[in-house]
Structure 1
Amino acid sequence: MELGNFFKLLWKRRLLLIVIPVITVVAAFFAIRSLPDKFISSSQIATGIVDQSRQLLDTDPNASSKEQSIAHEFSNLVEIMKLKTLINQVSYQLILHDLTSSEQFKTESKLFKSMNPAARSHAIEVFKEKFEKREPLSFYNRDENGLNELLRSMKYDERELRKNLYINRDEDSDFITVSYESENPQLSAFVVNVLCTQFIDYYTNTVRKNENDAVTYLLKQLNEKRDTLNKKTTELQDYKIKNGILNLDEQSKSIYDQIMVFNDRKQQAEKDVASNNGAIRQLNAKFTPEERGYIEATVNKYNQAVTNTQEQLHILNDRYVRSGFDPKLKGALDSLQAKLTEQINQTSDKYISNPLTSKDELVRQKITLEINRDMAQSSIRAISRSLDELNAKFNRLVPFDATVKTYNYDIDIASKEYLDVLNKYNQTNLQSTFSIKLRQVEQAVPDAAEPSKKILLIAVAGIVAFVICVIVLFISWFFDDTIKHPADLVKRTHLPLLGHLNTVDGTLDLRKLWDVENRERMRLFKELTRSLRFEIDQELKGDKILAVTSLINHEGKSVAGISLAYSYAMINKKVLLIDGNFENPTLTEVIQPRVFVEEYFKNNPDNYNSIAATTNVMGTHGGDVTLLELSDENFIRTRFNELKMKYDVIIIETPPLSSLNKSKEWILFANKVVAIYEANKGIAKWQQNDVEYLRNLNGKFAGWVLNKTNPEIENF
C-alpha cells in the first residue's frame, strides 16, 4: 500500500518527470554537439611470458601457481609502463616535436607562443638532456619549473597523458595492448609508439643489468664457497697425515673388536680358573692328610721337568695372547700342551707307587688340573696386559675422532653452501639466457575517428535526469511524515475517522458557502459534509451538543462548523452555532451575531433572560478569558440544558487543544467531540499529548475530520 502511494506521487508529479529530462536532453544536445571527434591508436607488445619454451625453468608443477606467476609478471610489466619516468619521456618527445616541427600536435598555448627563439633553443636543449638521462624536471629549479609550466600549458604533462592512456593485457594472451585517445590521430599514434619504444628499451636495459649483477655476485659467492671448501678439506688431510690417521672409523672399530675378543677370552680364563680350583678341592677331599703330604713330597721331588715345560707353556701362551691369538702359535701351544701331559703321565707312573697305587689316576687328574689352572691364570695376566694396551690405544683415538668430526662437519656445511650457491648460479645463468624478450609486434598508426557517442550521451543525460528526479521524489516521499490520506490519520493516531472535507478553490465567503452561485464549485464539498453529518448523527444518538476542536489554529474549524450547521438546517434541524474560540473568533467576525457567550453564560441577577428563538449563532467578544471564568460549572450546565430544550443540535467551535484548558472547558459540557485536522501536515512530538487526551475521552470522542484534502489527485 505504501509503495502504491509512491506511484501515486509519481503520477501526481508526472509533468515534472517529463519536463526536467526534456530540458536536460536539450541542454546536453547543445553542450555535446561542439565536442571534437576522438581518435584512438593502439599497439601490441609481445612479452614471451607464456612461451612454452620458458616453462622449462618452472620448478613448481602446480598449474595454478604458474598462472599466478604469469599474472604477476604481466602486472609488473603494466605497472612499469605507467612509471612517471617513462611518461616523462613521452612528454619530452611531444614538446620537442612541437618545438622543432612546423606542425604541432595541438594548438599553441599562450605560453608557447610567447617563447622567443632563444627560449625555444634553451628549452630544446634542456628537454633533450632530460630525455637522454631519463631525469624529471625539478619543481625547485626556477628554469625547469618554467618548462614544467610549458608542458602543462600544452597538456603534455604526466597527469594529462595518464587520463587518456590505456594499458592492459589481452585476456590470457602473451600480448600487452597500449592505447591512447586524443583529438589528433597523429598525436595518438606518436604517444603510443614513443611509450612502447621507451618501455622496451628501459625494461631491457634494466633486466640485463640486474641479471648481469646477479650472475656476477653469485659467481663471486661461488668462488668464495669453493675456496672455503678446499681449505677445510686440506686442513682435514693435513691433520690425518700429522697424526697417522688413515681411517679413524675402521681403526676404532678394529680396536674395539679386539677388546671384545680379549674380554671374552678373559672371562673364559676366569671361568677355567674357578672350575679348576673347584675340581682340585674336590680331589683333595678324597685324600687323607698323610696321603696329601706324601703326594706333595713326591711330586715336588720328581716335577722339575714338568715345571720347565710349564714355564715354556706360560711363555708361549703369553706370546699367543699378545699376538692377538695368532693361529700360527696355536699349533706350537697345542704341541707343548701334549708334551706336558705326557710328562705328567710319566711322573705318575715312575714315582708314585706304594702306598697310593690305587689312586694313581686321581693324582694325575690333580696335577693336570693344577697345570690348567696355572695356565688359565697366566692367560688372564697376559690378556689383562693386552686389554690395557688396547684401551690405551682406543682412548688415544677419542680426541682424534672429535677433531676429525669437527673437520667433517665444517666440510659438510661448506659443501652444502657451495652446492646451494652453485644451483642458484646455474639457475640465474639459465634464466638470463631465457629472459623475457619484449618486442613491439605492431606499430601504432593514425586511425579513423571513433564512432560518435553524442546520441548515447544525450540519451544517458535524459535517463540520468529522470532517475535523479525519481530518486529525489522517493527520498521526499520516504521521509515525508505528513498526513495526506484519511487512512494515514487513523494509522498515526489510532483514533477513528468520521470523514474528510476537500479543499475549495478560490476565495471562500463563509456566509455564501451554500448559496446557489457556488453550487458547482461546492458540489463535492456538500456531499462530503452530508456524509459527515450522517456519521455525526450516528455518534450523537439523540445527544445534542457537539464540540468541534483541532490540534492547532487555522485547520478549518470555522468552515467545518458553519458547513455542519447549514447541513443540519437543510434537514429542518434547529441549530445553534456557538463561537467558543475566544482567541480567534472567526465566526463572530464573519456572521456578526447579536448574542454573545460572555453575556449568556455570565452568572449575574440581570442575566436570567432566555435566548430568543430566532438566534442561530452565539458569538464572543474575544480576549483573554475562559468559559469557567464566566461562571461556575453548574450554572453553565443549566444554561446548556436550556439550550437543549430549544435546539436540536448545538455546535461549539472550541479553541485548539494547543490552548490547553480553554478548549477542554468547552469539551467538558459537550456530548461528542469532533477534531479537525488539516491534510499535508505532520503530527509533531509536542502534539502527542493532545492526541493522547482525545484518546482518553473514550466514547466521547466521535472521530477525526481530515480537512483540505484533494481526493482527485490523491485518489481516495
Structure 2
Amino acid sequence: MEIAKFFKLLRKYRNTLIIIPLVTVIGSFFLVKNLPNNYISHAQIATGIVDASRHLLDKDDNVNAQEQQVFREFSNLIAIMKLKKLINQVSYQLMIHDLSSPTPFRKFSKELLALHPYERDRALMLFKNKFQSMEPLSLYDKEEDKLNDILISMKYDERSIIKELTIARDEDSDFISVSFDSENPQLSAFIVNTLCNQFIAYYTQNVRQNETNAVNFLSKLLEEKKNALSKKTEELQKYKIQNGVLSLDEQSKAIFGQIMVYNDKKLQAEKDIISYDGAINAINGKFEPGDRKYVEASVSKYNQAITTTQDQLHILEDRYVRSGFNPRYKNTIDSVQNVLTGQINQSSDKYVTNPLVAKDDLIHQKLTLEISRDLAKYSVKSIDKELASLNSKFSRLVPFDATVKTYDFNIDIAGKEYLDVLNRYNETSLKSNFSINLRQVEVATPDVAQPSKKILLIALSVILSVFACLFVLFVLFYLDRSIQDPSDLVNKTQLPLLGYLNQIKGENLDLKKLWDVEHRDKMKQFKELIRSVRFEIDQELQGDKVIAVTSLNATEGKTLLAISLAYSYSMINKKVLLIDGNFDNPTISKTALPGVYVEDYFKNNPLNTQVVDSSTATVLGNHGGDVTLFEIGHDAFIKSRLDDLRSKYDIIIIDTAPLTSLNKSKEWLLFANKTLAVFESGKSITNGQKPDIAYLRSLNNKFAGWVLNKTDFNQKKESAS
C-alpha cells in the first residue's frame, strides 16, 4: 500500500522527473563538450624483490621470504615515491622546462604572465637551485611563497600532481607501475619519467649511504673485537709465564698419577708390615724363654753388624723412594741386601743353636722377617712425606687452573664475538655490491588520447539527477504526514468515512448548471461524489432529518458541502432547509440573502411571530458577530423550534462553525441527529486537533462520518489499476 502511494506521488511529479533530467542533460552537454582529451603515460620499475634471477647470491634467503614482508617492502617503495620531496623535484623540473623551453607543456597562468622577464629568470634560477639541493620552497620567504603560488596556478604543485598520479604494484609481480593522466601526452610522459628517475636516484643514494655506514661500523667493530681478543690472549700468556704454568692439564695428570702410585706402594707396605708382624709373632711363639735368651746372647755381636747394614739399607731405601724409584739406586740396594744376607748366614753358621732343638731355620727366618718389616715401616714414612709433597703441589695448581679457565672463557667469548662480527662484515660487504636492484624497465612515452568520457559523464549526470529527484521525493514521502486519500483519514482518526469530493480549482461552482447540463470530467465527478455522499447520509439518518456539518479548521470546504447537499436533496424533490450556523463567518447568509435569520427565529420572545416553512424560506441565515446559539435562546425553546422545522421540512442541514470555535459549533451539534465533518486533503492532523477528534469520537452513533474534500483520489482509477 505504501509503495502504491509512493508511485502515486511519482505520477504526480512525473513532469518534474522529466524536466530536471532533461535540463541536466543539456547543462552537462555544454559543460563537457569543451573538456580536453586525456592522455595517460605508463612506466614500470623492476624492484628485484621477488625476482629469483636477481638473488643468486642470497637465493636461500629469498626463497623463504614471507608474503607479508614482500608486501611491506613494496608498500615502503610506493610510499617513498609519493614523498613530497620527490614530487617537489618533479614540480621544479616542470617549471624549469616551461620557463626555458619555447614549447611549454601548459599555457602560462596569469601569475606567471604577470612576471617581468628578469623576474622569470630569477624564478628559473631559484627553481634550479631548489632542484639541485632537493629543498622545499619556504612559505615564510616572500619570494619563495610567490613561486609556490605560481606552481599552484600552473597545477604543478604536489596536490595537483598526486591527484592524477597512480602508483601501484602489478598484481603479484616484481614490477611497480607508474602512470599519469593529463591533457598533454608529452607532459604525462615527462612527469612519469622524471619521477622514476628521481626515485631510483634517491633510493640508490640512500641505500648506498646506509650500506657504507653499516660496513664502516662493522669494520670498526671488527677491529675492536680483534684487539679485545688479542689483549685477552696476551693476558693469559703473561699469567702462565709469571706463574710457571705450561700445561695445567698435563701437570695435574702427572702429579695425580704419582699420587696414585705412592698410594699403591703405601698400601702394599702396610700390608707387608702386617704380614711380617704376624709371621714374627708366630716364630716367637715357638721359642721357649730359655732358648730365646741363649740365642740372643750368642748372636749379639753379629746383630750389631747386621744393624749397621740395616741402617745403610734404610738410607738407600729412603733415597730410592724420594727419587721416585730411580733405577740407579736399585743396584746399590741389591748389593747391600746381599751383604746383609751374608751377615745373617754367618751369624747362623758361627754359632750353633741349642743342640736340644733344631731351630736354626726359624731364627734365620725371624731375622729376615724383622729386617723386611723394618724396611717396610721406614718406606711408609718416606711415602707419606712424598704424598704430602705431591698433594701440596696439586693444591697449588687449583687456583692456577681456575684463573686460567676464566681467561680461556673470556677468550672463547671474545673469539665468538669476533667471528660473528666477521661473518656480518663479510655478508654486508658482499650484499652491498649487489643490493641496488631498482631499474626502470619500461620508459613512459606519449600515448594516444583515452576514449572520450563525455557520453559517460552525461549519462552519469542523468542517472544522478534522476536518483536525486527520486531521493528527494522519497524523503518528502517519508516525512509527509498529510492525509491524501480516504483510507489515511480513517486509519489516523479511527472514525468512519461517508465519502470524498474532488478538488475544483479556479472555478465558480454553479450548482444549477451542474445538475442541468453535462460538464467536463471534474465537474461530473464532483456531482457523482455529492450523490454518493447524499446516499450515505440517507443510510445514516434512517428517518431523522437534522444534519450538522462541521470541520476541524476553517476553509476546509464545509460550507460548499452544505450548499451542495442542500441542492442535491432539492433535486430529488426534498424540502430542504439550510441553516447558516457559523456566526463568525456567515458565508451562506451573505450569498443567499435570506429573509429569516437565526437570531430572530430562535429568540425566546413572546412577540416573536416568525414563521418558517418551505414556501417562505429555504435558507435560515444569521447576522454574524460574537454571539452563540444559547445566547439567542435557551435549549428547550431551540429544541421546540427545531421540532417545528422537522415537521415542515424533509431534511435540515446546519452549517456550523469549525471545531476551533469551541462551543459555537458544539451547541449546534447538540440538536443534530447526525454530524458529519469535512477534512481537507493534503493537511495533517496536529496535536492541537487531537482533542477535537476525541470529541467527535465521543459522539458515538451521532457522528455519521468524514467527508474528505479537495482530494485527487479517484476510486474508479484505483480499482481499475
TM-score per shorter chain, which class?
0.7 to 0.9
Residue of structure 1 equivalent to 2:368: none
> Number of paired residues?
679
Residue of structure 2 equivalent to 1:647: 649
Once the two structures are TM-superposed, the CA of residue 486 in structure 1 deviates from its matched residue by 1.1
| Secondary structure of the structure 2 residue equivalent to 1:176 | strand
Structure 2 residue 147 is the aligned partner of structure 1 residue 140: no
Task: Provide the C-alpha distance between the structure 1 equivalents of 2:116 and 2:608, rounded to a whole number of angstroms.
Answer: 112
- The answer on whether the counterparts of 1:578 and 1:651 sit within 8 Å (CA) in structure 2 is yes
Letter in 1 for 2:612: A
- The answer on whether the counterparts of 2:583 and 2:625 sit within 8 Å (CA) in structure 1 is yes
- The answer on whether the counterparts of 1:40 and 1:182 sit within 8 Å (CA) in structure 2 is yes
- The answer on whether the counterparts of 1:514 and 1:566 sit within 8 Å (CA) in structure 2 is no
Distance 1:642 1:189, change over 3 A: same
Once the two structures are TM-superposed, the CA of residue 678 in structure 1 deviates from its matched residue by 0.6
| Secondary structure of the structure 2 residue equivalent to 1:711 | coil
| Secondary structure of the structure 2 residue equivalent to 1:669 | coil
Once the two structures are TM-superposed, the CA of residue 552 in structure 1 deviates from its matched residue by 1.1
Structure 2 residue 689 is the aligned partner of structure 1 residue 687: yes
Residue of structure 2 equivalent to 1:669: 671
Structure 2 residue 171 is the aligned partner of structure 1 residue 171: yes
Task: Provide the C-alpha distance between the structure 1 equivalents of 2:261 and 2:685, rounded to a whole number of angstroms.
Answer: 115
Task: Provide the C-alpha distance between the structure 2 equivalents of 1:240 and 1:96, rounded to a whole number of angstroms.
Answer: 75
User: Scaled by the length of structure 2, what TM-score is found?
Assistant: 0.77
Task: Provide the C-alpha distance between the structure 2 equivalents of 1:693 and 1:253, rounded to a whole number of angstroms.
Answer: 124
Task: Provide the C-alpha distance between the structure 1 equivalents of 2:232 and 2:540, rounded to a whole number of angstroms.
Answer: 117
Alignment of 1:108-507 (within 5 A): 108-236=108-236, 238-239=238-239, 410=410, 414=414, 417-507=417-507
Task: Provide the C-alpha distance between the structure 1 equivalents of 2:711 and 2:391, rounded to a whole number of angstroms.
Answer: 123
Once the two structures are TM-superposed, the CA of residue 556 in structure 1 deviates from its matched residue by 0.9
Task: Provide the C-alpha distance between the structure 1 equivalents of 2:145 and 2:606, rounded to a whole number of angstroms.
Answer: 103
- The counterpart of 2:620, out of the listed 593, 618, 621, is 618
RMSD: 5.3
- The answer on whether the counterparts of 2:600 and 2:608 sit within 8 Å (CA) in structure 1 is no
Residue of structure 1 equivalent to 2:538: 537
| Secondary structure of the structure 1 residue equivalent to 2:550 | strand
Once the two structures are TM-superposed, the CA of residue 503 in structure 1 deviates from its matched residue by 0.7
Letter in 1 for 2:557: G
User: Scaled by the length of structure 1, what TM-score is found?
Assistant: 0.77
Once the two structures are TM-superposed, the CA of residue 47 in structure 1 deviates from its matched residue by 2.1
Residue of structure 1 equivalent to 2:585: 584
Distance 1:715 1:513, change over 3 A: farther
Residue of structure 2 equivalent to 1:708: 710
Task: Provide the C-alpha distance between the structure 2 equivalents of 1:616 and 1:436, rounded to a whole number of angstroms.
Answer: 110
Query: What are the superposed Cα offsets for residues 621-658 of structure 1, whole Å, 9 maximum, x if unpaired?
Result: 22222233333333333333333333333222222222
Task: Provide the C-alpha distance between the structure 1 equivalents of 2:44 and 2:430, rounded to a whole number of angstroms.
Answer: 27
Task: Provide the C-alpha distance between the structure 2 equivalents of 1:519 and 1:111, rounded to a whole number of angstroms.
Answer: 72
Residue of structure 1 equivalent to 2:336: none
Task: Provide the C-alpha distance between the structure 2 equivalents of 1:421 and 1:213, rounded to a whole number of angstroms.
Answer: 15
Could you list the runs of 5+ residues in structure 2 that have no partner in the other structure? 272-302, 304-314, 325-332, 334-372
- The answer on whether the counterparts of 2:511 and 2:567 sit within 8 Å (CA) in structure 1 is no
Once the two structures are TM-superposed, the CA of residue 610 in structure 1 deviates from its matched residue by 6.2
Could you list the runs of 5+ residues in structure 1 that have no partner in the other structure? 273-303, 305-314, 325-331, 333-371
Query: What are the superposed Cα offsets for residues 119-138 of structure 1, whole Å, 9 maximum, x if unpaired?
Result: 34333332222222222232
Task: Provide the C-alpha distance between the structure 2 equivalents of 1:621 and 1:420, rounded to a whole number of angstroms.
Answer: 118
- The answer on whether the counterparts of 2:589 and 2:621 sit within 8 Å (CA) in structure 1 is yes
Task: Provide the C-alpha distance between the structure 2 equivalents of 1:557 and 1:72, rounded to a whole number of angstroms.
Answer: 78
Higher mean C-alpha deviation, range 662-671 or range 55-64: 55-64
Distance 1:124 1:545, change over 3 A: same
Letter in 1 for 2:190: F
Letter in 2 for 1:658: T
Letter in 2 for 1:199: F
Task: Provide the C-alpha distance between the structure 2 equivalents of 1:407 and 1:207, rounded to a whole number of angstroms.
Answer: 41
Residue of structure 2 equivalent to 1:335: none
Residue of structure 2 equivalent to 1:631: 633
Letter in 1 for 2:192: V
- The answer on whether the counterparts of 2:211 and 2:432 sit within 8 Å (CA) in structure 1 is yes
Query: What are the superposed Cα offsets for residues 503-556 of structure 1, whole Å, 9 maximum, x if unpaired?
Result: 123323466474525744521112111211222222223333322221111111
| Secondary structure of the structure 2 residue equivalent to 1:3 | helix
| Secondary structure of the structure 1 residue equivalent to 2:548 | strand
Query: What are the superposed Cα offsets for residues 60-107 of structure 1, whole Å, 9 maximum, x if unpaired?
Result: 989896222222222222222222222222222222222222222222
Task: Provide the C-alpha distance between the structure 1 equivalents of 2:634 and 2:64, rounded to a whole number of angstroms.
Answer: 97
- The answer on whether the counterparts of 2:681 and 2:711 sit within 8 Å (CA) in structure 1 is yes
Query: What are the superposed Cα offsets for residues 262-297 of structure 1, whole Å, 9 maximum, x if unpaired?
Result: 99xx9x9xxx9xxxxxxxxxxxxxxxxxxxxxxxxx
| Secondary structure of the structure 2 residue equivalent to 1:435 | coil
